[in-house]
Structure 1
Amino acid sequence: MLDRRIQPEVNTLEDISFVHPQHFDIKNGIQLHWINTVADDAVKIDLVFDAGSRAEQPALASFANSLLMAGTPKYSADELHARLDGLGGFFHAETSREGATVTLYGLRKNIYALFTLLIEAISEANFPQKEVDQLINQKQQSFKVSSEKVSFIARRLFTQNVFANSPYGTVTQYEDYAKITQEAIQAFHKKHYLQGLQKVCVVGDLDPITIDEMISLVKPMVGELATNFLTEVENTKGEFRQEKEGAVQTAIRIGRILFNRTAEDYLKFSVMNTIFGGYFGSRLMSNIREDKGYTYGIGSGLAEMRKLGYFFISTEVGKDVADKALEEIKHEIERLQTELVSEEELSLVRNYTIGQMLKASDGPFAMMDRYLGVADFGLDYDYYTQKIELVKSITPEEIREMAKKYLKWEDMTVVLAG
């Protein structure tokens, strides 16, 4: 019988048992990745295209992505979605600076029919003028609403200055939506979707014949398109303030260009960042939310891209305490740069970090995400083993060194909007 007066034994995680996907060549080095160790009938398929917002004119990538299921010469948008629903499928599409992903969910018995429907919709998308006009109107109205929010203003100003003088620093203006044409969307689609497939990821208990048939369907979407990612940029250092009449809040964004997980210091920096602002019990939260009561939430992180990354701090505070909040952020940086983290705090962060790794690796769908989290950067699963080892062994001195090396205030882009 279980004695609840006795604390359960705590085991130390030594390693995570990863599932390795099977890889199938499609064409020109592009591959399909497949994990078939799924206990139920659920299937998830991701199609990744070189169709990010860094390419072409502002907003064009977003429009092409949003209208992929807007109709073909054979079916209207309503008819496409009715067929999708009838087969029990769910479709989702999104864009980033560096790519676009189309995701399909369904059950095993209907997945090939769903996949065929999706490929037909993408391959034959004709972007009806009526749908384009409706989306232009929706985007314009949404832009007007968002422009009243200090978080939106700060995010745009931050992007422009962190990625200064590069395509990644381009932000969409209201007038850009009126410049979007059906012809421009069709040209973007032809270049970046019909010839821009970068990878296919399948998670589901399927048979190899179905996988082969899927490869045959997507092979025409692989072209000779060269993918160029931003490799070097320098953020504009200094403080930038934008007033917003009537605002009672001030949005704060602070950051700088750094690196991604291929860098030697990435893992050490990530542990330091967790202590600083990377989880609910972080120093930024403890000080600025819990102690000072300036905000409901504040955090920091390292956003990664294919060739680089950027560090950021983000919060919204009362307009009357914005400068005080800035001083407290500086204070927490200085503490990390001058004082050694206690073993008690470091132990808590170690346990939290490893726990989050376990949570993020639970199940086949999460396992595919873990695989892509290293494969996209030319790494393998050894990265996660190295991370566990470093989290266990990192010292307070190494954490202090990371703060001194990378959190220099004079290197930061500081944005306040409100």
Structure 2
Amino acid sequence: MSTDLQADALLAELQDLAALPVEAGERPPLAADGGTPSGRQLYLVDKAGAAQSSLRIGHPAIPYDALGDFYQAGLANFPLGGVFNSRLNLKLREARGYTYGVRSAFTGGPELGSFGVSSEVNRDATAAAVSETLQVLEAYAAEGMSEPEFDFLRNAIGQRDALRYETPFNKLELLTDILQYDLPLDYRNRQNQLLRTVDRESLNAVIARQLRPDTLSIVVVGDLASIRPGLEALGLPIRLLDEDGFERPGKADSEDSP
């Protein structure tokens, strides 16, 4: 609970809750299914007449960890796709004009996590946007961030985090994370200390471990008749899905055209 009420008065109002029976809940661990892709796969969903194509590109990743590789992968993602002047946004939006914006992120829960890139791109630029996104990811995984990018992320994230817990809702989210993940009460201070002391080489090593461009799943939703030829030219294996995510029977190009 996050409030401006006096603690003593609030606790007095909540005393009746202390009499309720308490049962220890048990949550069985969620077993990972071992479904890490062995290579790239493109999934194509038809949205006839769509002026834009929706791109979702990603792979399974590590679960949430407030102070280890997960947190550091989030830092390392910042220059890649976590800010407006990221590599992905500068390439696809500013240099190419394919999209109004593109982002990437590592997300994680108690058992599972993922890395993902998302964007809406011009229909005629669909194949080029996929190709150039893959190129950016490959280069970043191989080479990591530059020194200027590292300096920028350290300053920008430090300033951003200083404002993250101003509202009652923000504070409630912080407490929820502490309870859900059994975090130390000072974990935010520890993260800030890590941000101040981590070096560029360490973050580049984390991104080299956690970003795996060769195992990306690529989902494209768009006008099949318009975008399929360009996507086929990329040489990736393609599977057709319906709008519910179920695989469609393979069809010749002419049968998919209006």
Asked if 1 retains the 8 angstrom alpha-carbon contact of 2:56 and 2:119, the reply is: yes
Q: Does 1:269 align with 2:73?
A: yes
Which one of 328, 334, 338 corresponds to residue 142 of structure 2?
338
Which one of 312, 320, 324 corresponds to residue 124 of structure 2?
320
The structure with the larger Rg is 1
Q: Residues 228, 208 of structure 1: CA spacing in aligned structure 2 closer, same or farther, 3 A cutoff?
A: farther
Give the ranges of 4+ consecutive aligned residues of structure 1 lying more than 4 Å apart after TM superposition.
217-225
In 2, distance between residues paired with 1:222 and 1:241?
A: 49
For 1:328, the aligned partner's letter is: E
| Equivalent residue pairs, number | 218
Partner of 2:226: none
Partner of 2:95: 291
Q: Does 1:360 align with 2:160?
A: no
- TM-score with structure 1 setting the length: 0.47
Q: Does 1:213 align with 2:16?
A: no
Please state how far the C-alpha of 1:363 moved relative to its aligned partner. 4.8
What stretches of structure 1 of length at least 5 have no aligned partner? 1-200
Partner of 2:174: 370
Asked if 1 retains the 8 angstrom alpha-carbon contact of 2:59 and 2:212, the reply is: no
Q: Give per-residue Cα distances to partners, 1:226-282, cap 9 Å, x unaligned.
A: 334635244463221111111121111112222212573122211111111111121
In 2, distance between residues paired with 1:240 and 1:253?
A: 10
Q: Give per-residue Cα distances to partners, 1:105-125, cap 9 Å, x unaligned.
A: xxxxxxxxxxxxxxxxxxxxx
For 1:239, the aligned partner's letter is: L
Q: Residues 236, 218 of structure 1: CA spacing in aligned structure 2 closer, same or farther, 3 A cutoff?
A: farther
Q: Does 1:204 align with 2:4?
A: yes
Q: Does 1:249 align with 2:52?
A: yes
Q: Residues 229, 204 of structure 1: CA spacing in aligned structure 2 closer, same or farther, 3 A cutoff?
A: farther
In 2, distance between residues paired with 1:202 and 1:271?
A: 28
Asked if 2 retains the 8 angstrom alpha-carbon contact of 1:234 and 1:257, the reply is: no
In 2, distance between residues paired with 1:218 and 1:314?
A: 46
In 1, distance between residues paired with 2:182 and 2:14?
A: 25
Q: Give per-residue Cα distances to partners, 1:65-120, cap 9 Å, x unaligned.
A: xxxxxxxxxxxxxxxxxxxxxxxxxxxxxxxxxxxxxxxxxxxxxxxxxxxxxxxx
Q: Residues 225, 389 of structure 1: CA spacing in aligned structure 2 closer, same or farther, 3 A cutoff?
A: closer
Q: Residues 251, 236 of structure 1: CA spacing in aligned structure 2 closer, same or farther, 3 A cutoff?
A: farther
Please state how far the C-alpha of 1:310 moved relative to its aligned partner. 1.7
Partner of 2:43: 240
Partner of 2:208: 404
For 2:51, the aligned partner's letter is: V
Q: Does 1:311 align with 2:115?
A: yes
In 1, distance between residues paired with 2:211 and 2:25?
A: 38
Please state how far the C-alpha of 1:224 moved relative to its aligned partner. 5.6
- Aligned pairs for 1:141-220 within 5 A: 201-217=1-17, 220=20
Give the SS at the match of 1:359.
coil
- TM-score with structure 2 setting the length: 0.74
For 2:103, the aligned partner's letter is: G
Please state how far the C-alpha of 1:295 moved relative to its aligned partner. 0.6
Q: Give per-residue Cα distances to partners, 1:30-81, cap 9 Å, x unaligned.
A: xxxxxxxxxxxxxxxxxxxxxxxxxxxxxxxxxxxxxxxxxxxxxxxxxxxx
Asked if 2 retains the 8 angstrom alpha-carbon contact of 1:374 and 1:381, the reply is: yes
Q: Give per-residue Cα distances to partners, 1:127-169, cap 9 Å, x unaligned.
A: xxxxxxxxxxxxxxxxxxxxxxxxxxxxxxxxxxxxxxxxxxx
Give the SS at the match of 1:290.
helix
Please state how far the C-alpha of 1:294 moved relative to its aligned partner. 0.6
Please state how far the C-alpha of 1:301 moved relative to its aligned partner. 1.2
Give the SS at the match of 1:360.
coil
Partner of 1:279: 83
What stretches of structure 2 of length at least 5 have no aligned partner? 223-258
In 2, distance between residues paired with 1:376 and 1:392?
A: 26
Give the SS at the match of 1:256.
strand
